[in-house]
Structure formats: C-alpha cells, structure tokens
Amino acid sequence: MTRESIKAAIIEIINEIVPDEDLSDLDHQKPLRDQIDLDSMDFLDIVMELRKKYRIEVPEEDYDELSTMNSTIDYLLPKMESL
Amino acid sequence: MIDKIRIVITGVGLTAPNGDDLVSYRKALLDGKSGVSSHEVRYMPPVPAGLCDFDQFRHQSKKAGRRGTRAGAMSIYSANEAVVDAGLAIGNLIRDRTGVFIGITEHGNVETENEIYNLSQYDFDVKYWSHHHNPRTVANNPAGEVTLNMNITGPHLCLGAACAAGNIGLIYGAQMLKLGEVDLALAGGVSESARTFGIYASFQAQNALARHKDPTKASRPFDRERNGIVVAEGGCIFAMERLEDAKARGAKIYGELVGYAYNSDAADFVLPNATRQSECMRMALLRAKMLPEQIDILNTHGTGTMQGDEHECEAIRRVFGTMTNTNVNNTKSFIGHAMGAAGALEIAGNLPSFQDKTVHPTINLDNIDPECNLPGFVIKKPRKLDRVESIMSNSFGMLGINSVVIIKRFEQ
C-alpha cells in the first residue's frame, strides 16, 4: 500500500468510528484528537479495525505513534506497504 | 406523609412495533393495526416478532448510537420524547434533581451474542473481542446512556424484574419522587431482546414460542388457538412528577398513579401463580382505596401461553368475580410481548382512554378459550364508554414476580 492508500484506509476507519465528524479538512500535522471528537475508546476502535481489516497489531507502547495523520502513516507504512 | 404525596404522569415517550409516539400508537390500537411481522433470526427459521422503526438519530449522534446498545437507543429516544411531551426543555432540566429508572427483563444478550458471533469469524481469538462489551452489557446501560445523552446527573438505574419490569420502573419512579430524592422521574421500561436468537430459541425449547402463517395473527392471548409468545422490542418512558410541582408549572396531566403493588410467588421459575397475582391486584386496590368495581379498564398481562393466560384469568376472577362493568383488554395482541417495555407500553396505550373515553380492543381473539372467558373482554372493536376514571394494568414475570398499577383520571 502507498502513503495515499494507507491514508484513505485510515480515513475510512475513522469515518466508521466517528460518523458525525467532517474529515475533509484534517490538518495532517496536528493531533487527530485536537481536531475531531475522538476519545480513548474510539482510539481502541482504530486499533481493533487495523487488526480486523489488515491483521496489524499496534502494541500499547506504540499508541503515541498514531497521534497525527502523518505520524500514523509513517508508523503504518512499513507494516502495510507489502499489503 | 408519603401516602399523601400524589404522583402524576406529565409526559410520554415511546417506541412500539406499531407506533413511535403516543398519538400514532394509540391510533394503531384503535384501528386494530398489528405491529408484528416476520423476522430473520440467526440460526433459526424466521419468527414472528414486533420490531420498532423509530428515528434513532433524532436525539442521538451516530457515534453514540454505534457505541451504545439498541436498548440504550430506544431509551434515549423515549426519554427525550417524554421530556418534550411534558413541555420541558431538554437542555434545561435540573440535572441533579432528575432521575432515570428503567425496567428491564434482561440486558446484554444482544451484545454478547453479537460478540460471540464476531469472535467465531476470527477462530475464537479473544483479541478480537470488543472493548465496548462491558459498558454495553452492564445492567445500568440503558438508563446510563440516557443520562449521558441528556446530561442528567441525578440517580439512574435499571430495575431487573423480568416481564413485570415496565410497571416496576414506574413504581420505582413514583417512590423516588415520594421520598424527595428527585423532582422529575423519567421512568418506564425497555427491551431489545427481539434482536437476539436466544430468547426465541429458549421459548421454543419451552414450547412457548408463537407460530402462525400470518405473523400479524401470531400473538393471540386468551384465544383457543394461541400457541405461545411473540417476542417484541420497545421502549416507553414517562415523565413523572409530584402533583404540586406539575401544577405549579401548569403541566398537562395524563393521569395519576393512585395504586401499585408488586410481590413474589416463591413457587416456580417459570409457572405463574394465580394466588399471588390476585393478592397483588388486591394490594394495589387497597393502596388506591378502591374497590374492584371502580376499575373501568383492566389491561391484562396475557402473553399467549396456555397456562399463563389461564392463571391470570383465574386470578382476575378471584378479585373481580363475575362483574360485567370492568372492560378487559390486551395490548400484546397487537405488538407481541415487549418484555421490559411491556408494562409501560401497555399503560401508555390505555392512558388516552381518559380523554377519548374509548377502550382499545384485543385483536386475534377469534375464539375465546372458555378458561379465559372473562365477562368484560373488549374484542376486535374499540368500546366507547360514557367516561373512563381508572385503569389497572397487570404485568407478571419469570421467577414469580407480579406487578400491578392503577392510574386514575386526574381530578383536583
């Protein structure tokens, strides 16, 4: 998967979890939780959906890597580029 | 002193299989319109069931709906509608003086069944089990979701009371008002179990699951051809207040809760007990300071099981004798058995009788079982009366729990 397709996959997952939010103007440099109503239970949903859809494990010590869109893509790229 | 505090109903919010507000629900009951249809259930052939089709996102965000439960969604819808109907502003409730008390027959089975099914898709690897499972299945979930949605900081809880629960939500709300613990009680019942397979499979194993080639005719309490229960979902919440508070703000008053009782059979897991049921009815009458002949409408619990309906009629005979002036009806014949919501929905369905002076009928009662032949049955067509002063509603449940409430037309 490319950076663009990983981004699309993340957007799709977040959209399922917080369907009331408008994700079209996200600043990829800023923390997601500063821009949309995304709490810790939602964050666990993102981790679960990555597991279910892509068989990717995000251990708890890596959760901070999923802070911004860019940092999330950076973190997931090595795990997803072969998919 | 507590006995002198009068409790009134000032708002009704509901979702039933044949109506999502009191006006449309009442119209369906007067028009003889069933809410039962054929429903696909996991692992089983289709079953007749009463399912609701309310506007879930009128009062709830999609995110909250996704995170929460069906029972929570029905409770949120009903509670908000009750507050609106009571003429109160949703965003302006006195947060810490409002309580939410919701009767449940059961809770969490839908979520547990779904999670186990989900797990089966991942070879039963528990790392795929949702972190939402616990908050969805705690027993206070439906009432708790209402407090989150409506920003209520007063007390909340669900009252587990099998199929007596809808009445008991109402009774508990009244008790909390009488104790001065709250100023506004949002009280009633809810059930989402029509979305499980387990409830159908268990009734089937008990030979108590209704079957009929026409699902709208499957729920037929007191009929000779009845063959069991039609499971339904639903929610019904009343805004309840002390009379002095309701009058002070000029609220419309649907009726006054003048008598109630609940007791236990101490006899059997599932079989009803006519002796305790009749004791419960008598206790409610005593508290209301009323005689049986003063009850204008008796709304039966009747679920459509052979023994249950017979036992209830026996209990009613012991209290009401051969009286012909009491009009008897049954709401489950329209919507099926909405479990925790049943008692509350049945009260709601009859409340408009104080204004329209009409008794909603019992449908599908084509050939009354001689064992159930009470003199006052209102069958197929509504019955017009000169006036309606009082309604008694019965709700009984497994493990031997009986509840009876008496509502009177409000008089100064």
Q: What is the DSSP string of B120-163?
A: HTTTT-GGGS-TTHHHHHSTTHHHHHHHHHHT--S-EEEEE-GG
Could you tell me if residue B335 is inside a domain? Answer: yes
Report in angstroms the alpha-carbon separations of B352 from B7, B19, B391. Answer: 18, 14, 11
Which residue, of B217, B248, B279, is where some domain finishes?
B248
Q: Which amino acid appears at position B395 of this protein?
A: S
Retrieve residue B403's tokens. 């509840």
In a domain, B118, yes or no: yes
Q: What is the rounded radius of gyration, in angstroms, for the C-alpha atoms of chain A?
A: 12
**What is this model's ipTM?**
0.94
| Residue B359 three-state SS | strand
Which is higher by pLDDT, B92 or B339? B339
Residue B92 reports pLDDT greater than 90: no
pLDDT at B3: 77
Question: Does one domain contain both B289 and B207?
Answer: no
Report CA torsion sign: B92, B96, B97, B98: positive
CA atoms within 13 A on the CB side of A9: 22
Identify the active-site residue in B59, B107, B212, B301.
B301
- Report residue B93 as tokens: 């409730």
The residue among B215, B248, B281 that closes a domain is: B248
What is the mean predicted confidence (pLDDT) over B146-152?
Answer: 98
Choice among B163, B280, B313, B372 that is catalytic: B163
The region of weakest confidence among A66-70, B37-41, B87-91 is B87-91
Residue B132 designated active-site: no
pLDDT at B1: 66
**Residue B198: which domain range?**
7-248
Q: What is the pLDDT of residues B315-336, one digit of tens each?
A: 999 999 988 899 999 999 999 9
Whether residue B350 sits in one domain with residue B203:
no
Residue in B with minimal Cα distance to A17: B63
CA distance B225 to B223: 5
B288-293: Cβ within 8 A, 24+ apart: B288/B258, B288/B259, B288/B390, B288/B406, B288/B408, B289/B258, B289/B259, B290/B258, B290/B259, B290/B390, B290/B406, B292/B319, B292/B320, B292/B321, B292/B323, B292/B326, B293/B323, B293/B325, B293/B326
Domain CATH number, residue B391: 3.40.47.10
Q: In terms of domains, do B326 and B362 share one?
A: yes
> Domain check: are B118 and B225 in the same one?
yes
Yes or no, beta carbons of A18 and B63 under 8 Å apart = yes
What does the alpha-carbon distance between residue B59 and residue B354 come to, in Å, rounded to a whole number? Answer: 29
Per-domain boundaries in chain A: 3-20+29-80
Active site annotation includes B360: no
Same domain, B213 and B143: yes
- pLDDT for B277 beyond 90: yes
Q: Is residue B305 part of a domain?
A: yes
Residues of A in contact with B66 (CB under 8 A): 16-17, 19
Last residue of a domain, one of B248, B281, B301: B248
Contact B104, B71 (CB under 8 A): yes
Q: Write the CATH number of the domain with boundaries A3-20+29-80.
A: 1.10.1200.10
Are B125 and B204 found together in one domain? Answer: yes
B369 and B317 co-located in one domain: yes
A59 touches chain B (CB under 8 A): no
Q: How confident is the model at residue B411 (pLDDT cuts 50, 70, 90)?
A: confident
Instruction: Say yes or no: B165 and B211 in one domain.
Output: yes
Q: Return the number of CB contacts < 8 Å for A and B.
A: 25
Q: Which of B235, B251, B238, B240 is nearest to B181 (CA)?
A: B240
Residue B1 within any structural domain of the chain: no
Q: Is the pLDDT of residue B199 over 90?
A: yes
Mean pLDDT for all residues in chain A: 96
- Contact check, Cβ <8 Å, A41/B132: yes
Is B150 in the same domain as B263?
Answer: no
Nearest residue of A to residue B66 by CA position? A17
Annotation marks residue B107 as catalytic: no
Closest CB to B131 among A19, A21, A41: A41
Tens-digit pLDDT profile for residues A2-37:
999 999 999 999 999 999 999 999 999 999 999 999
- B54, part of any domain: yes
The total number of structural domains in chain B stands at 2
User: Is there a single domain that holds both residue B281 and residue B178?
Assistant: no
State how far residue B61 is from chain A, nearest Cα, in angstroms: 7
Q: Are residues B335 and B197 in the same domain?
A: no
Question: At B258, which helix (H) or strand (E)?
Answer: strand B255-264
On whether any CB of chain B is under 8 Å from the CB of A25, the answer is no
Which residues in chain B are closer than 8 Å to A44, comparing Cβ atoms? 131
Report the mean per-residue pLDDT for chain B: 97
- Most B CBs within 10 Å, among A13, A15, A20, to test the B interface: A20
B294 with B222, same domain: the answer is: no
